[in-house]
Structures are given as structure tokens and as C-alpha cells.
Amino acid sequence: MRSADDQRFARAICTTCATTVLLILSALASPVAVQATGLVGASAGAYAQGEVLVRYASTAPDAARARIASAAGGGGGRQALDPYTRLIRLKHGVSVSVALDRLRSKPGVVWAVPDYRARSATVTPDDPGAVGEAPGNWQLLQWNFVGPFGVDALQAWSNLAAAGAPGGSGVVVAVLDTGVAYANRGRFLRSPDFSAQTFVKGYDFVSHTPYANDLNGHGTFVAGTIAETTNNGYGLTGLAYGARIMPVRVLDSAGEGDASVIAEGIRFAVNHDARAINLSLEFPTYLTAADVPELIDALRYAHHRNVVVVAAAGNQRAATVPYPARAPGVIAVGATTEHGCLASYSDYGRRVTLVAPGGGTDAYLPDDPDCHPELASGRNIYQVTFAGTSPRLFGLPSNYEGTSMAAPHVTATAAMVIASGVLGRRPTPEALTALLKRTARKLGGPQDRYMYGAGLLDAGAATAPAGP
């Protein structure tokens, strides 16, 4: 067990932003600790500065809460997530560490934590080139959908058409990310491979506006993997092309986001009828559930409301899966390469639910006959998104790899399973997870099975009609 002084702060980060992707977080003490503890090792960017999150006991009256906040150095705040949780803004000169020590010493405080930041779960790209497109060549480019180690999209599409729900039509999927290029508004353009009908109303929890526009490209890429328009003579295909996307911006233009903001996004998606949530982001592996209680509560809320949550397993090459993928009930997705090997960057271990294509170089697994790290790297994942940094210029960048890319394959398949009715009208997250695991393709040698969870996602098998 780590001492309080060893624990660390952190922001969440996207697991595949075209700019920065690996998750970097900071350090702190257990949120339920009452003794004063320092923030040893915490970097300034790992958590939000000038504010802390506090959860009051339901029995503490409003006046007592105000006195507690003021005594801790709070100069104002707002309700966050529920009536008993507040985001307290600190007065000038009051540090996060001092405020936490004061708050944790007060009766009536259930927990007090910094507002951690997450990042998108992506590998930092080193090749900014793009791949040209040609009519009809999507099958050559999208190995992840139809290649030998793809997810069998063609069979899944056939299954859904036979079920009367082509491409997962009728299911809303929330993409909690850097936003999505979903509309023509001001300086923003809708991605040319999206239809306006693809989207339902979302929200920007970073800028606090109803317009969840993308300033990075990562969210647009993830949304494209799930539901990019198919059979329109342009660009590439989306796996659940009939599903509708709810764009929810929880990561900023650098692909970073606070735990409280992500939690708000999860609750928004659940309350606005999303059936599946994609979280292509990660916190550091050393962060515990006690460090992000607001996020854990939101994930529990989604689970209780029958909403399936899929998250990237992370890109640290570690045997420990980070939050949110580590949370109970969340489908944790590792990444594989074009060769059917675990990707060299992917986290692994017993907490991984299954794997899906993420691109990149093979891991070194001597017992796995499909792993050849000595050979050239396999191809990355392709989807229409920003060709550079402008939200008005789109293309097919070749530098996207990571568990961020793997997760939306599983989210899209979950949406198609829901639409197909093979598990009934409203399957539980447990039933969906069990089906995805049962139909996955086994990978690895005898000593490597725990690297892949249940195996490689098989969308064709998962959406197949039930037997007699």
C-alpha cells in the first residue's frame, strides 16, 4: 500500500490525439483521508489550479457548508454533479494542498479532492503524413474492419440489415472527447463524411456552451470510426453507420480534461438517452478510485441506468489498466495490430475485457505466432478528420494509433448489438459484455492469453441472430 505522501494527482488525457496522447497525471492523497497530506510529486498541469471538489454529508446544512468552504480558503463555487458536491474556487494565495488539508479535517466533509485531468488514450504521433483516397478503396485502407484481423464489418452489416436496423439505426452513442466536427457554425465545418442527420444534441462541458465543436480532431476521428457515413461515394466507412452520435466535449484542444467535467458529461449522456458511451481517454495507472470519486459515481450511475460504457485500456505498456477502464462494469479495450498481435503500446492484464484494432507495431511476445516486432510496423487506423490543426480542413491522416482507436470499434459493435435485438429490447451492460466476450476470437500463444482479455472483437459474430 502506498503512503499518503506517495499518492499522485492527475488530469485525464485522450488516448489518441493527433497532438499529444499518452496519459500524464499527478499525485495526491486519498480523498477520504482526514490527516493533512502534501501533494508530493504533483505537477502544475496534472489537476485544475485554484479549485477543489468537495462532497458534503447530506446532513450538513447549507450554512455549515458555506462556513467550511470559507474556512478552507474558498472564495466561491458552484454545484457539481449533485446537490452535495461543490466545485470550490480558492481565494488568491490559497493552494490546492492547503485547502484539501483544511477540508478533510472538517466534520461534514465526506471527501475532498483536486479536480484531476485526463488525456485521450493515444500514442504521440511521429509521422504527420496523410493517405490519399480513391473511390472504392476503403476495404484496402480499413484493414481494421475487413482484414484478416479486422472485426468482420461486412458480416455485421449483413446481420443488421436482416434485422431491419441497418448500421445500428435507432441507437444513440455518446462520444465524450474533444468534441466532434458535427455542424457548420462560424469557423467550424461539419466533416464532409458526416451527415447532419447523424447527430443529436450534445454539449460542451469545457466551454459551457451547447456547441460541442472539435478543436483537436481526436473526437471527430473517434466519432467517425463509430458512425461515419457509409456508401456515400466519399471517404471511408463507419462501423455502426446507422447509429446517431451525441457529441459531448469533455477534453480541451490539447486533449486534456478534468475528472469532474468528464463525470458531468457521463451524467448528461445518460440523462439524454444515450445507450452507449465511448471514453477514449485515460488517467494514470497509479490513480485509485478514491482519487476520482465523482467519476466513479458517474460511471455507477450509467451502469444503473443500463447504459454501456466502453473505455480505452491505456497506452503505457503496463499490466495495470487505468481509470476509467478499470472501473467495475466498464468494458476495457486493449489494442491490436494489423498482424493480430497486441500493440506494443497497449496496456494489458486481467482487467482487459477484450481487444480491438488500434494499429502500430507488434509487442514482443515470443510465444505468440502472430507477433513479429522485428518486421515493419503494421498500418495505423484511418478515418476522416482534421488534415492538420484547422477545423475547416479534412483528410485521412496516417498517424492515429492507440487504444483510443480500439475502443470505438467496441462501442460501435455494442450499438449494433442493441439495435439488432439479439439480446432483447434493452440489454444490460452485463449481458452485452458477456456476448462480446463469448464471441471474441482467441489470440496469442498459450502463455499470452491474459494479454488479450477474451480476444479480438468480432462484430459479425456478436450481431449474429440467436440460435434456436
The burial class, CB within 10 Å (0-12 / 13-18 / 19+), for 293 is buried
Region 180-187: mean pLDDT is 96
User: What CATH fold (topology level) applies to the domain 138-462?
Assistant: Rossmann fold (3.40.50)
User: CA distances (Å), 382 to each of 120, 135, 292, 354, in order?
Assistant: 17, 15, 33, 21
240 by DSSP, 3-state: which? coil
Q: Identify the H or E element spanning 100.
A: helix 96-104
pTM score, whole prediction:
0.83
pLDDT in tens, 72-131: 888 777 777 778 898 989 988 888 989 999 999 999 899 999 888 887 665 432 222 234
Candidate ranges 24-33, 79-88, 249-258, 374-383; pick with highest mean pLDDT: 249-258
**pLDDT over 90, % of the chain:** 66
Joined grid coordinates for residue 47:
489537476
Q: Is 180 in contact with 214 (CB distance < 8 Å)?
A: yes
pLDDT in tens, 199-225: 999 999 999 999 999 999 999 999 999
Handedness of CA 34, 76, 42, 332 (dihedral sign): positive
- pLDDT exceeds 70 at position 16: no
Distance CA 234, CA 131 (A): 14
Q: pLDDT band at residue 45, thresholds of 50, 70 and 90?
A: low
pLDDT in tens, 312-362: 999 999 999 999 999 999 999 999 999 999 999 999 999 999 999 999 999
Q: Identify the H or E element spanning 247.
A: strand 244-249
What are 415's strand-pairing partners?
Answer: none
pLDDT of amino acid 129: 26
Joined grid coordinates for residue 432:
452485452
Joined grid coordinates for residue 27:
499525485
User: What CATH fold (topology level) applies to the domain 4-120?
Assistant: Alpha-Beta Plaits (3.30.70)
Q: Identify the H or E element spanning 312.
A: strand 308-312
Matching residue, cell 471527430: 220
Q: pLDDT band at residue 235, thresholds of 50, 70 and 90?
A: confident
Angle subtended at Cα 285 by Cα 368 and Cα 224, rounded to the nearest 5 degrees:
70
- Looking at per-residue pLDDT, the higher value among 321 and 45 belongs to 321
Distance CA 412, CA 174 (A): 11
Angle subtended at Cα 121 by Cα 252 and Cα 245, rounded to the nearest 5 degrees:
65
Q: Which residues are catalytic?
A: 177, 218, 404
Q: Domain extents for the chain?
A: 4-120, 138-462
Distance CA 325, CA 339 (A): 25
Angle at which helices 259-271 and 293-304 cross, to 10° = 10
- pLDDT exceeds 90 at position 188: yes
What are 12's strand-pairing partners?
Answer: 118, 257
